[in-house]
Amino acid sequence: MRLDRRTLVFLLIAPFLRSSGHSWLACVDYDEATSTCNGYARNWYNVMAGQSFSTDRGRDNRPGTDFPAGLVCDQRKEARTTPVTNAYDATYPMATLTAGQTVRWRWPAKNHATVGTQRGVQVFISPTADATTDAFIPTPIAEMDFSACNPRQANVDNADCQDTFVLPANTPPGVHTMMWWWEFNAGEFYNSCADVNVVASTGPAPAPAPAPGPAPGSPTPQPVAATANFVGMICPPVAVVGTQGSSFQVDVTFTATANSVIGVDIYREGSTTSVGRGTITTDTTGARTVMRRVTVTLNEPQPIPVEISSTHILRAWLVPASSYDASVSWIMTTTEALVPVEISNAIKLHHTCAQGSGSESSSSEDSEELAKAKDANAALGTLFTLLVIGVALYVLYRCNCFAKCGLPATSSNIRTERVNSRSKASEMKMTENAVVSVDRDHSVTPPNRERSGWTKHEDDNGKAYWFNEQTGESQWENPITTI
């Protein structure tokens, strides 16, 4: 079996390779009907002109830390220009969005269209318009599904990913900076910046798709008029305990234009009957987006599925306080956010982001178990690494690759050479004792008086000896002088 050098190098480094992801915002206002991009990420024209939206040209900015500290535009690739329009041109323009508009963003999957329940793409926006520096509200205004791709399958580099969010209707007119934010592995962050010109809405925003109807036998929902409010969840739990009376916490971010009730319900998938609810009340927040914590308590036990799956839905909602009816199972509102959640008998991973500030119900026992599991995984990883390195070295030895690659001889080769040297010396000594005889007058009689075929050599210690190529004999004395 022969292996080329590149294969051998891969065998040695394979245990140390770690999967990593990278992606970026490509289009800020994508028209799905016409497949047209009406606005691009900052400095796109200078880096990506004429290239496919998935071409690797250094657009994968990595802030190195979670938000809010990581809410910084990359100064090498997406530095703010003065004026901001200098970062765009006629072919790759800056987007113009309307307050309250449903906006579609586009990005490449880069082989990661199946990231599961990890944190999706989050959207951040500057607190004011026409600022001279980049700044962002430290809570996202929306979250999208990173894996909303075509095709939605792994290992497709240029899979086309798109999703939508609603730009808050109370966004002040003017030029805002927006940020596309994605976390792949825990602690592996990516962001992209874009400038958008926000204009005021000239009419009522189009009504979104109606919420599902009530389940049979549930109370008739009371409709609530659409508002300019916003609600979202920050790092919601991915699993909750299914015991009746158990509770968990959800961090909710919202904008309320009037005194409101913010709630979080949990529903079985496909049902509109709440099996757990938590609510808080708030005064108007004006144009500010704030964050509060909501405690949700299950009012009936939930079965644990045989296979781990997202069997329930978390739904955050906001309604004016004057319209809230606690007896209604499905609160009718246009201001909501939905995420899947699992039912388990113990929570080991509470939230979709490792450093989230959501549920505080993790016990020290859970933390200790997680630490032990990490230590065990690290030990197994080390053993596996040593095993692979051992196999690789054995393959190199069996293929005689050390000699072929010009590497130093192994200790085994050196030891063999030393044994051969000792054997030769012993053989020389034995020949001398066997073939040389001494008579009474101490005269030396050579074993072979044939003078032809003898040649002079030196052993490893530099001592001269003679070897006959015809007979295979060797001796210390010069056969020419011992006749």
Task: Give per-residue pLDDT as tens, 340-364.
Answer: 888 876 654 444 454 433 333 434 4
pLDDT band at 468 (very low <50, low <70, confident <90, very high): confident
What is d(CA 319, CA 323) in angstroms, rounded to the nearest whole number?
Answer: 7
Rounded Cα gap, residues 110 and 188, in angstroms: 15
Region of poorest pLDDT, from 98-107, 157-166, 316-325, 420-429: 420-429
Residue 395, Ramachandran bin (φ over 0: left; ψ between -120 and 50: alpha; else beta): alpha
pLDDT at 175 over 50: yes
Peptide bond into 303 cis (omega under 30): no
Of 103, 106, 124, nearest to 189 by C-alpha is 124
pTM (2 d.p.): 0.43
pLDDT digits over 406-433, tens only? 655 455 555 555 545 555 555 555 555 5
Question: What are the CA-CA distances from residue 83 to residues 49, 196, 396 (Å)?
Answer: 21, 13, 61
Beta-bridged to residue 105, according to DSSP, are 163
140/148 Cα distance (integer angstroms): 19
- In 167-259 the beta strands, taken as DSSP E runs, fall at 174-183, 189-199, 230-234, 239-241, 247-255
User: What residues contact 403, with CB distance under 8 A and at least 6 apart?
Assistant: 409
Whether residue 241 has pLDDT greater than 70: yes
Tell me how crowded residue 388 is: count the other CB atoms within 10 A of its CB: 16
